[in-house]
Structure 1
Amino acid sequence: MTDAPIYLDRHDHYADLVLNRPERRNALNAAMWTALPKLLDEAAADPAIKLLLVRGTGGAFTAGADISEFETIYATPDSARANTRAIAEGLDALAHFPKPTLAVIRGACVGGGCGLALSCDLRFAASDGRFGITPAKLGLGYTLNDTKRLIDAVGVSVAKDLLYSARLVDAAEALDIGLINRCFEPDALEAEVRAYVDLMLSRSTGSARITKRVIHLIRSGVDQDTDETRQLFLDAFSSEDFQEGYRAFLEKRAPDFTGTS
């Protein structure tokens, strides 16, 4: 264990990215945003990690930005720009992380915390989750990249509702509007996450990388195959994962993927 405010906790073939300020409901401070891209680079470079979970300690995902720092980090235009850049780099690094990501949400998932969850591929939540994107409570705006990720999840009309009102929604409504993928009772969340992790780890990491890249291109506005997407498709046929998957199919057994794409 560590007292670092954000850290990687490695397991067999997956890792947790842990937000670890339970005394502040895991409020995201400048040091955490700065550390985030470096930790993601470590996880991306580790071939043993096939899946990344993002979670908080102490009963909350994260209550959002650490407002106690605002007087300092927004004291000058230069410091404000530096902090805004650090937050954007952290969220974009998570959104572009090459392996599948899953936010495991309990309790508060608000403001920058909701932005962090939306930067993950999937979001599983306990029924005690509370969600909101709240710049309108502070007289602030929301960046284009963050707004696009919200719109991609819930659509334009619901995004306007959430941003204009800055209201909090419970997990049931979050599921209904597409803000989260699945909702479970609090005491069932970990077992359900573990079952899904096991399912993901039985699948091809190479396939997941291709799928994630193609979906990213589609969301970026690419609407026809390109040289890159055709090559991604063709390269898969020479991968170790395809050779294993093909042999396993012929031999009528479960494949044992290495994760090599």
Structure 2
Amino acid sequence: MEPTLEVEDREGGVRVLTVCNPSRRNALNDALLARMDAALEPAAHVRALLVRGQGGHFCAGYDLTHLGPPGADGRLPDDPLVACLLKLERHPAPSVALVQGGAVGAGFDLAASCDFRVGASDAFFLMPPARLGIVYSPEGLARAVRLVGLSRAKQLFLTARRLPAAEALAWGLLDECPEDAEARALALCATLAAGAPKAVSGMKEAFGLLARSGLSPEDVAHLRQVRGEAFGSEDAKEGRAAFLEKRAPRFTGR
């Protein structure tokens, strides 16, 4: 089955986005991101978004076979991901992530980009960039810090700690972990969609502005250079190979 994004507009203004890439546990690639970007174009009839994965898996991250060094034009491999998740985060309609199974790497960030996260009992979160030799985007790091705090975000990103549903709930990464997560996520979407659209979107925009960090243009440029060096490093190449070969990486610092 080819990877795809199912888009379903339900009664009441709820748009359901389902990531379907079963052979890779719903890992994202540029084609899927392009479909998601199109589905996130604001529309008057869309008043709430539900984001989920097919088959009991939320999202296993970004397809590592599509990662590599920066392009000759300076483009970073995850630029489409960063742009798409910012679009989701800043969408005028509120969003709910239904997290069943793993939310790994970009899947973690996909869930964090939503306004609310409802988890099933088998949900877990994991951030592996330190094992892959890459520097995660400052946008994604900031989302994690806002949700769990600086110290716990460091634990997640620097140690690749697996956080099961109960701990994710206690840390604030999940908002709820009910017995019937799907029904609860849909009910929350219905509640959000029933609010006055301009009031909801206006307050969501205000919350977003209040939460944003104030990186200077120089900071942004420096971090982009640091990330580019990491993506092009020997350690990043080794990290991808080790992950795909299911072995421990042998990092050299180059």
TM class by shorter-chain length?
A: 0.7 to 0.9
Tell me, in whole angstroms, the C-alpha distance in 1 between the residues paired with 2:21 and 2:196. 34
Deviation sequence 1:206-245 (CA, Å, 0-9, x none)? 21111101101111269xxxxxxxxxxxxxxxxxxxxxxx
AA aligned opposite 1:102? V
* 1:94 equivalenced with 2:88 (yes/no): yes
Structure 2 vs 1, CA of residues 161 and 58 (structure 1 numbering), >3 Å: closer, same or farther?
same
AA aligned opposite 2:201? R
Tell me, in whole angstroms, the C-alpha distance in 2 between the residues paired with 1:209 and 1:139. 38
Tell me, in whole angstroms, the C-alpha distance in 1 between the residues paired with 2:75 and 2:166. 36
Partner residue, 2:250: none
Q: TM-score, normalised by structure 1?
A: 0.76
* 1:65 equivalenced with 2:62 (yes/no): yes
Q: Partner of 2:154: helix, strand, or coil? A: helix
Match of 2:144 among 144, 147, 150: 150
Deviation sequence 1:155-199 (CA, Å, 0-9, x none)? 0010011111011110000011111111123xx112212322332
Partner residue, 1:5: 4
Tell me, in whole angstroms, the C-alpha distance in 2 between the residues paired with 1:112 and 1:101. 17
AA aligned opposite 2:61? G
Q: TM-score, normalised by structure 2?
A: 0.78
Q: Partner of 2:125: helix, strand, or coil? A: strand
AA aligned opposite 1:192? R
AA aligned opposite 1:6? L
Displacement after TM superposition at 1:75 (Å): 5.5
> Which structure is larger by alpha-carbon Rg, 1 or 2?
1
Question: Identity, % of aligned pairs?
Answer: 33
Match of 1:215 among 207, 222, 232: 207
Deviation sequence 1:68-94 (CA, Å, 0-9, x none)? 333xxx156338825322111111111
Q: Partner of 1:197: helix, strand, or coil? A: helix
Structure 2: gaps spanning 5 or more residues: 215-254
Tell me, in whole angstroms, the C-alpha distance in 1 between the residues paired with 2:185 and 2:202. 23
- Is this contact kept in 2: 1:30–1:83, CA < 8 A? no
* 1:50 equivalenced with 2:42 (yes/no): no
Partner residue, 1:34: 34
Displacement after TM superposition at 1:4 (Å): 5.5
Higher RCO (CA 8 Å, separation ≥ 6 residues)? 2
Partner residue, 1:242: none
Tell me, in whole angstroms, the C-alpha distance in 2 between the residues paired with 1:15 and 1:212. 18
- Is this contact kept in 1: 2:129–2:136, CA < 8 A? yes
Match of 1:116 among 110, 118, 126: 110
- Is this contact kept in 2: 1:109–1:132, CA < 8 A? yes
Structure 1: gaps spanning 5 or more residues: 223-261
Match of 1:166 among 124, 139, 160: 160
Q: Partner of 2:92: helix, strand, or coil? A: coil
CA-atom RMSD in angstroms:
2.0
Partner residue, 2:16: 16
- Is this contact kept in 2: 1:7–1:39, CA < 8 A? no
Match of 1:81 among 72, 75, 79: 75
